[in-house]
Amino acid sequence: MSRIRPILLLLLAGTGTLLQPRCFAANDSLVAPQGFSSSIHSNQRTSSDCENAPEPFTGALNFPSKYEGSGSSRDELNVDAERRYKDATSSISSFEIGIASLSSRYIQRGSDADVGCVLSWLDDWAEHGALLGKAETHTGKSVRKWALAAISTSYLRLQQSRSAPLEKHASERSRIEAWLRAIAVKVAAEWPVDAPINKINNHFYWAAWSLVSTGTVLNDRAMFNQGLEIYRIFERQITTDGLLPNEVGRRSRALGYHAYALAPLAMIATFAVANGEAVDTGPKSPISRLAKTVFDGFQAPAGFAGLVGSKQEVSTNVATNFSWLEPYCSIAACDASMTEFLQRNRPFKSTRLGGDLTTLFGTKQP
């Protein structure tokens, strides 16, 4: 099997909306927030079982939407379409979850065998060119950027650890990082910053997060900045009431999609802060207005329904609704109710945000 050649990310031009890159010293590298660089303490050098990676997904990423047949609000679940979607994407979902679990296993135990297992999975999918197929459906494009976010954040936990577990794996790193770049090029083209503003919604925020995390992996400022510019668009979209117009349109599921949009935005903000970018996180800032509206909305759904004009279908999944709290509270002054809720419900985990978020953001690093 031929190896994937690195692909240079082309800058989108002519839109007038891209941020101009700041001037950096030649050796000034992008970094993840401090929790990603924690040292490994257990140092268990024991062997571990390493199951084979799921079959690499090399086909077209054309998947049905679970809201297939719904109206423009796309808030009516199609049970049959959801089943077909889960069946079609099962290998990708298993890969995302597996990579996150294996990376966490290394962080907890410090076994060289665990690092080897993570890299063998990643290298297998890289060698086969997985996730690079054509995507003709909106859902297919969505799956690609979700997978990229999950893979890059799990990889970052190994790459940026002060214990340097990837130091002896130069050849695997080269292949894996070339593959991540190739996926990111497709994501950047599928979710462009010059899309009409009435189209830029939670999907674009997740794409932006995947570009910020992968840009950090690759130390690619153009990629990082493209994700950050989508964040800047969010800052211009948010209303004084802390609402996102393109998520209000989801009607009965508007609250859930506001929370879903907030998760990648909170992660982007933490990475921006870690790299010295000017991001407002004060009490009246865009990210804080959104956080307050979402948090208050889950405490009193009827109040949120009054804001958006539709009774809400409210999920009881704490991880889904509040995964944004750990990263958000690491850079903003959370109020007492948020802090109490956070402490009471820890740990918070999310495969597509870095795994154990409480470990990454909720504890002080040495």
User: Taking a C-beta distance cutoff of 8 angstroms, is the pair 244, 237 a contact?
Assistant: yes
The predicted structure's pLDDT at residue 76 = 74
- The pTM for the full model equals 0.90
Residues ≥6 apart with Cβ < 8 Å to 226: 11, 12, 18, 188, 193, 208, 211, 215
Question: Which position has the token pair 């135990």?
Answer: 109
User: What is d(CA 88, CA 135) in angstroms, rounded to the nearest whole number?
Assistant: 14
Residue 23 lies in a domain: no
Residues in the chain: 366
For the chain, give me the number of helices (H) and strands (E)? 15, 2
Could you give the number of structural domains in the chain?
A: 1
Residue entry with tokens 């790299």: 275
Enclosing domain of residue 226? 34-41+51-361
Q: Is residue 17 part of a domain?
A: no
- Check residue 51 and report its DSSP letter: P
Task: Judge whether 114 lies within some domain.
Answer: yes
- Tokens 């690499």 sit on residue: 56
Are 227 and 268 a contacting pair, CB within 8 Å? yes
What's the pLDDT at 40?
Answer: 77
Residue 14 maps to a domain: no
The two structure tokens encoding residue 255 = 């609250």
Low-confidence residues of the chain: pLDDT under 70? 1-27, 41-48, 69-75, 363-366
Residue 2 lies in a domain: no
Q: What are phi and psi of 334, to 5 degrees?
A: -70, 145
pLDDT 10s digits, 272-298: 999 999 999 999 999 999 999 999 999
Give the pLDDT score at 334.
Answer: 95
We report the CATH number of the domain holding residue 173 as 1.50.10.100
